[in-house]
Amino acid sequence: NSKALLIGSVAPDIPLILIAAGTIATDLAQGNMRNDAVTPYTQMLFENWFFETIWVKTAHNLFHGPLAVLFYILIGYWAWRSGKKWGPPLFWFAMAAMGHTLLDIPVHYDDGPLLLFPFNFNLRFYSPVSYWDPNRYGLPFTIFEHLVDVLCLIWLWRDWRQSKKLSTEAA
């Protein structure tokens, strides 16, 4: 279940990362990379396709749309209660994806998850905060996010050290 939690916590961003990698590769292959500006295909992805292209919206919201993720949670819970082996991993994967989604919604100015996906491909929460835009509290949020990252790494390191110590004592 810890693997499912870990994968579910990053799964909402994976489709967009893969699409962006494709646009960057295309820009590189076509010689579009420039030091002074975003490149044509990558710029199209984040300025147009992300907001207007159905397949990009679908890919980005498969594990980001709260209703879709709630559906996965319910299916995982049902399967778990029915004794199916895949139920608990799906449940915890979806719970982690929901946690990611619920954290994303208030820190995306106009590019957050589609709230009613797959029934509505346009409704988003417009937050006064953007996790990246310095004009919308991006700098304080970035500092906060990095502090949380450091605390999580310290916690994981301590947990790893403790488990290693316990396994050494048991041997």
Q: Please report the pLDDT score of residue 132 as a whole number.
A: 84
- Written as one string, the DSSP assignment of 138-157 is HHHHHHHHHHHHHHHHHHHH
Give residue-wise pLDDT tens across range 78-106.
999 999 999 999 999 999 999 999 999 99
Give residue-wise pLDDT tens across range 110-163.
999 999 999 999 999 999 989 888 999 989 988 988 898 899 889 888 888 888
On the 0-12 / 13-18 / 19+ scale of CB atoms within 10 A, 165 is: exposed
Lowest average pLDDT, out of 64-78, 103-117, 155-169, goes to 155-169
Q: Please report the pLDDT score of residue 36 as a whole number.
A: 58
The backbone torsions φ and ψ at residue 53, rounded to the nearest 5 degrees and listed phi first, read -95, 120
106 is written with which tokens? 């208030």
Is pLDDT at 58 greater than 70 in this prediction? yes
Give residue-wise pLDDT tens across range 15-50.
999 999 999 898 888 877 766 555 788 889 999 999
Q: Please report the pLDDT score of residue 157 as a whole number.
A: 87
78 is written with which tokens? 């049902």
- Written as one string, the DSSP assignment of 60-115 is HHTTT-HHHHHHHHHHHHHHHHTT-TTHHHHHHHHHHHHHHHHHHGGG-SS-S--T
Is pLDDT at 70 greater than 90 in this prediction? yes
Distance CA 148, CA 1 (A): 23
Instruction: Give how far Cα 43 sits from Cα of 31, 47, 52, 72, 157, Å.
Output: 14, 6, 13, 32, 38
Q: pTM (2 decimals)? A: 0.83
Q: Please report the pLDDT score of residue 43 as a whole number.
A: 86
Distance CA 122, CA 101 (A): 16
Q: Given CA atoms 104, 146, 9, 16 in this order, what sign does their dihedral have? A: positive
Q: Please report the pLDDT score of residue 171 as a whole number.
A: 66
